[in-house]
Structure 1
Amino acid sequence: MSAPNKPVDMDWQISCHDIKSRNQYLFETGEMTDCEFMVGREPKNQKLISAHKMILAMASPVFHAMFYGSLPEKSIIHVTDLDYATFHALLKYIYTDVIAIDSVDEAIELVRAAKKYMFSFVVDKCITAIQAKLTPKTVLRVYEFATLFDETQLKERSLELLRKETLKVIQDDSFKNAEIKTVMMVVQQDKLNINSELELFKAINKYVTESPELNGHQINNTGETDAEQQSVSISIRNIIRHIRFLTMSPQTFAEGPMKTKLLTKRESLAMLANIASSNTDIPMPKGFSTKKTARKIQAPVLHSPVQVESNAFLPEVLPRNPYCSNNFGPDFCYGNMHPYPYYISHRFPY
């Protein structure tokens, strides 16, 4: 509302028959504003937004204290922790009751604004929208958000999807944008839906190469003098130590991890010896995973009731179970109280 979006009608009140339409008119035109916000994280992206003190104060205790507290704001208010689009979306809700969300990122940013200005209803609606838009592409971003704002249920939903759709998550281009601590969380999971540990290793190797968070840093196994570079390398090394190299075959390891720069030559040779033989005298490199079980989530085995092909094999009389009280007929009440309904013959002892 930094500038009127449409011409001001001198008799606009006549066509607005309720408070919602009046507020919407004020929101769209910027008519009669009495406060201003300079909004944006970066100075070059900051824009001026005008609003109405009374309308904002009626909607939020934070705005009420800002304008009508003991030390009311009288000059332009600078908002440097939100972007213009997010703050504008929050004002739109205040004036019109409309919550406009088109993406997970927009919902997350709106939650930040809503928590800052104490709009719990907006927070709840945004969380619902985020859950509805949870996909392998957005799951790590949502996990980081849920962790930061202590949204336990949303965090658990994110972890469930990560474990179920692991391969899609780690192969998506969005994986490179994850925080280092989030990648650490992934490799620490005991169960992941991957076909082999090599797929996880490849994703980590690609992350090290392309992640904006690493800012071009590469792991240096010779020791670093720069504190920031050393910190990054330590984080990457800690992630690699959780890879279950012992689940790989010698050929897979030699043609994959052994050819990368993520392991030293000595570490690679020691691991290869341990992969090739469980009786080797060469110990695994210190700190690296010694787990030999795959992370692959096994599909549940469904057990079916015992069936027979012909009634000819059924005994003439089966003792009725005295504890059976169902109304499904006698065929469900005989035998040794097995949890499934079944028929038992002398040829198929249970």
Structure 2
Amino acid sequence: MDKINLFEVNSPIADSQHSDSKLDLPSAPSPGLVLYNNEEQADLAFLVGQNDSKLWRFPAHSFILEDASSFFKAIAATVKDKNSNSETKEIRINWCEHDIFDIILKYTYTNEVVIKSVSEAMVLFNASNSFCLYQLSKLCLTFLCNQSNDDNVLEVVAFFHNYLKHICEMNADNQPEKVCNEPAANEDLLEMLNTLIIRCYDIIDYCAQKIISSEGFSKLPYDLVGNILWRDTLNIATELEIFAAINQWSCQQCKKTCKELTDKNKREILGELVFYPRYLTMSLDDFLKGPYTSEILTNEEKQILLEKIKGNDQIQLPKHMEIFKLDVERRFDDISEDDDDDDDDEGSSDAANSVSDGKADKDKQKNPLPVNIQLKKKKKKSKSKKILNGLGEVVLCVIKLLD
């Protein structure tokens, strides 16, 4: 596996490509490089794992960890308070798996991180936040933004949907403005999260036909299914695809909850999702061979929709159907990256505004973020956005940071 080194502009290695001057001899390795996985001078030992019978032991050094983050600084302080002749202090970590902790510890010692997959990046992001290693959190978001595609985008969206929802529940007033305790890092993380989520929903829009018919889509939670299907920008050929998606999703949910696969049970599980297909934009043939033959809609609802599709404007929609965008055609916007500065305002409108509480709102595009999530929208391209765009075509296997 190749290692990608990100050098500063004034790095002697970078300058050597444009200069005949002699390179300086390499400096001595840092203490972290020498003492990682080394018992010498170790005054800490982390016992990691959820199962007490399968713990992993990691030696550590308080004088190195104290500068890594506020979390490790607090642990290092407890070591300094003990008697100098006492034994190595053991710290139990039962909320992090040993493989992720090994990545965390290596990063604190060497400033190097190897991210092998999207799933690992998401777990590592969560852990790095818990250990207050916010620079590592940013690297995880950069990796995810570069590696998200139509095969894994639902996994990424579902993870951060739940993550941000949890942040809302933990914060006062149910607001997500605080994902960490350091103001500068908090602002950067929110901005990068916003960028990642916008990118994910752009992928969902572009690959909507494949994604909403996938097995992964049928396993999504109710509110996330609603967020996706409410969008005006899904790239689909016909609303029959949306109708097929809610039917497939309701079948999966019936099986999951041990209910019979009846139209009555499907309708009960679907709730308002039954009106997310834009029935009044369907052709007569599509409606007759799809929704009209199903019993998910009531006979009264089907007859009213049929008359409206035929052009009978005298028929009024029932109040419970008026709030949905039944007659609004979806329009897919293929936004090129060349127009990032201008499109950020338009393309991020869904991710920047607060989400509805699950009730349909016919005047607004349903936001892709969880309930009450509000991320700040900026007109200028941010630093984090520039970083993400600059690394967009790089396969990020290894990131090495220089002190």
CA separation of 1:160 and 1:49: change in aligned 2, threshold 3 A: same
Structure 1 counterpart of 2:143: 129
Equivalent residues in 2 for 1:129-148, closer than 5 Å: 129-147=143-161, 148=164
**Which runs of no fewer than 5 residues in structure 1 stay unpaired?**
1-15, 224-231, 301-350
Q: 1:197 to 1:156 in 2, by over 3 A?
A: same
Quick check: 1:181 aligned with 2:223? yes
Structure 2 counterpart of 1:11: none
- 1:254 Cα shift? 2.9
| Contact persistence 1:270–1:285 (CA under 8 A) | no
| Aligned partners of 2:279 and 2:305 also within 8 Å | yes
User: Which residue of the partner structure matches residue 128 of structure 2?
Assistant: 114
Residue among 229, 237, 240 paired with 1:195: 237
Q: Take 1:298 and 1:101, find their aligned partners in 2: how far apart are those partners?
A: 32
What residue number does 2:116 align with? 102
How far residue 248 of structure 1 moved from its aligned partner, in angstroms, is 1.7
CA offset at residue 218 of structure 1? Answer: 6.9
Report what 1:205 is aligned to.
247
Give 2:44's match in structure 1, choosing from 6, 10, 34: 34
Residue in structure 2 matched with residue 165 of structure 1 by the alignment: 207
Is 1:19 the equivalent of 2:28?
A: no
1:61 is aligned to 2:70: yes
The structure whose Rg is larger is 1
Following superposition of structure 1 onto structure 2, how do residues 261-300 of structure 1 map, counting pairs within 5 Å?
262-279=296-313, 281=315, 283-284=317-318, 286-287=320-321, 289=324, 291-297=326-332
Measure how far apart 1:146 and its partner are.
4.5
| Alpha-carbon contact 1:196-1:296 (below 8 Å) kept | no
Matches within 5 A, 1:306-321: none
Cα pair 2:239 2:279 within 8 Å, conserved: yes
Distance, in Å, in 2 between the alignment partners of 1:35 and 1:96 is: 18
Show CA shifts across 1:177-226 (max 9, x none). 33322111112112211001111221222122235995455788769xxx
Kindly state the Cα deviation for residue 262 of structure 1 after the two structures are TM-superposed: 3.2
Is the 8 Å Cα contact of residues 163 and 193 (structure 1) preserved in structure 2? yes
Using structure 1 for the length normalisation, give the TM-score. Answer: 0.64
- 1:83-108 CA-to-partner distances (Å, cap 9, x unmatched) read 33322321232233321212211111
Q: 94, 114, 133: which one pairs with 1:79?
A: 94
- TM-score calculated relative to the size of structure 2: 0.57
C-alpha distance in 1 between matches for 2:296 and 2:289: 14
CA distance in 2, matches of 1:47, 1:178: 33
Counterparts of 1:108 and 1:206, CA distance in 2? 28
**Distance in 1 between residues matched to 2:70 and 2:255, nearest whole Å:** 37
**Corresponding residue for 1:306?**
none
SS at match of 1:59: coil
Letter in 2 for 1:48: W
Contact persistence 2:254–2:269 (CA under 8 A): no
Instruction: Name the structure, 1 or 2, with higher relative contact order (CA <8 Å, separation 6+).
Output: 2
8 Å Cα contact 2:45-2:91 kept in structure 1: yes
Q: How many residues align?
A: 272
Residue of structure 1 equivalent to 2:382: none
Residue 153 in 1 paired to residue 198 in 2? no
**Distance (Å, rounded) in 2 between the aligned partners of 1:245 and 1:189:** 15
Task: Work out whether residues 140 and 182 of structure 1, in 8 Å CA contact, stay in contact via their aligned partners in 2.
Answer: no
CA distance in 1, matches of 2:303, 2:156: 39
Measured in 2, the distance between the counterparts of 1:182 and 1:125 equals: 26
Is the CA contact (8 Å cut-off) linking 2:65 and 2:76 kept in structure 1? Answer: no
Amino acid at match of 2:35: N
Aligned match of 1:245: 279
Gaps of 5+ in 2: 1-27, 83-87, 165-178, 180-189, 336-403
Aligned to 2:376: none
Q: 2:48 is paired with a residue of what secondary structure?
A: strand
Deviation, 1:52, is: 1.4
Alignment correspondent of 1:329: none
CA RMSD of aligned residues (A): 3.8
- Separation in structure 2 between the aligned mates of residue 60 and residue 299 of structure 1, nearest angstrom: 42
Match of 1:331 in 2: none
Aligned-pair identity (%)? 22
Q: Deviations over 1:273-296 (max 9, x none)?
A: 333342354645723635324214
> Which residue of structure 1 lines up, in the alignment, with residue 292 of structure 2?
258
User: Per-residue deviation at 1:171?
Assistant: 2.7
Alignment-mate amino acid for residue 89 of structure 1: I
What is the letter of the counterpart of residue 86 of structure 1? Answer: I
Cα displacement (A) at 1:159: 2.2
